[in-house]
Amino acid sequence: MAVIAGLLHHLPQLQTVWAKTINWVIGANLSGPTIRKSKKNLFDVRIPITLNHVRHLAITAPGTGTDILLCLDAPALYQVHLDGTRGHLFDNPYARANLIWSRAETGRVQSSLKRLASRSPNLRHLALTATYLSEECWTWLLLGSTVEPPPFHCLESLALHELDSQSGKVACGFTEAGLLRYSMRSDISLRKLSFRRCTFSIDGAVLVQVFINFIQQRPSNSFTLEIDDSFKGITDDHLDRLRLVGVVVRNIGRDVPGWWSHGHQIDALDSTAY
């Protein structure tokens, strides 16, 4: 992390950051005002690192990527993809396809997102791949608190990929009840939901009602659902009902080229994630 922080510090015109590793261990002490110099970093780096031109961020979570979120100030940030998958093509005994999450790792990601909200409130697109948040975190992310509105009021698209009902001791905190409450708000900007290779529980009738609520609250907007056949509770009848009320429904395939391809054919924007 110290090496990446030093590099970012010297690239103030950077517009895109793509940083993914097999590592999920916290690599730097971010509790103070600086990242102290070390063998990997020959000088102190002040926190936060201000990058006024960064618009696209695709990073590993947890680990190095969430460390980046904790120390980055990027007011123009437009897209964020938190990727919890880990490469399995390299001949490395520590590599595994997906991380088994613990509450500590979920808490670390939640802290990073709260820091992101305070420094990049105009975020438009958020994608989470195999990244498990608690129900408490999702409630904050979608609904805010009793005294504050949702943190990303400009959010236009939310994409969830490769989420099961549970990973290790951490349950997938994305719930039907939270999504329904979110859909009834008039102070949000969301227009697109995307679900790919997700198996957590969601009912098709609930999803239909969510989009009906979106339309009733913001009738001048257009809305899109991207989905594959992973959700067993969502049928063709549900999708037809969505089309009838004007929702653009896109049936997408499960197979998407992975980012872990020995450094080849990497899309630095992670554009398929959104």
The domains of the chain are located at 2-273
Strands 166-167 and 170-171: antiparallel
Nearest to 140 by CA among 164, 163, 159, 115: 115
Task: Please name which of 210, 209, 85 lies closest in space to residue 142, comparing C-alpha atoms.
Answer: 210
Number of neighbouring beta carbons within 10 Å of residue 38: 13
Assigned token pair, 28: 């730097």
Amino acid in position 215 = I
What pLDDT does 87 receive? 61
Spatial contact of 203 and 229, defined as CB atoms under 8 Å apart: no
Burial class (CB in 10 A: 0-12, 13-18, 19+), 147: exposed
Q: Calculate the alpha carbon distances from 34 to 26, 155, 237 in Å.
A: 16, 31, 56
**How far is it, in rounded angstroms, from Cα 233 to Cα 127?**
22
Q: List the end-to-end C-alpha distance of the chain, in Å, as a whole number.
A: 26
Neighbours of 33 (CB within 10 A): 8
- Integer Cα distance of 74 and 69 in angstroms: 9
The two tokens of residue 244 are: 């009838």
- In this structure, what are the phi and psi dihedrals at residue 13, rounded to the nearest 5 degrees? -95, 5
Cis peptide before 93 (omega within 30 of 0): no
Contact predicate 128/139, CB 8 Å: no
What are the average pLDDT values for consecutive 10-residue runs of the chain, which has 274 residues? 77 90 63 65 77 94 85 94 73 57 90 93 95 95 92 96 90 95 95 93 95 96 94 91 97 62 63 84
Residue 189 sits at φ, ψ, to 5 deg, of -120, 5
Would residue 246 be called left, alpha or beta, if left means φ above 0 and alpha means ψ between -120 and 50 degrees? left
How high does pLDDT run on average in the chain? Answer: 85
Contact present, 185 and 216 (Cβ < 8 Å): no
* CA 118, chain centre distance (Å): 16
pLDDT score for 270:
83
Kindly report the pTM of this predicted structure.
0.90
Q: What is the Cα 133 distance to its own chain's centre?
A: 10
Task: Give the whole-angstrom CA distance, residue 32 versus residue 45.
Answer: 11
> What is the Rg, in whole angstroms, of the alpha carbon atoms belonging to the chain?
19
